[in-house]
Amino acid sequence: MKLLKLRYHAAPMSTRHDTIDCQRLLCPMPVIRVQDRVDALSAGDTLTAVCTDPGVLQDIPAWCRINGHQLLRADSVDGEYLVTLRVGRDAG
């Protein structure tokens, strides 16, 4: 009798990227909007917040550290502040 070795290959995890408009919002609203959107995403998904409040460059990274999300990027481009994060395991 010949034994067959079966291998299980997990399907690649599909992730999505989302963008949220937080322009013209002041603290704490950009963080609240990001939090609400992250709650609707799955672990591994990414989110970019487009903001006009320079405070988000400190506020959103601090929120990510506290809540287990990974900050991928925080930049200023033409008067807009772009913050991109990867959703942590406990999201959704």
Active-site residue list: 27
Of the candidates 59, 14, 55, 63, the residue with the CA atom closest to the CA atom of residue 38:
63
Task: Fill in the amino acid letter for 79.
Answer: G
Half-sphere exposure of 90 (CA within 13 A, CB side): 6
CA angle 37, 66, 80 (to 5 degrees): 55
Contact yes or no for 92/43 (Cβ under 8 A): yes
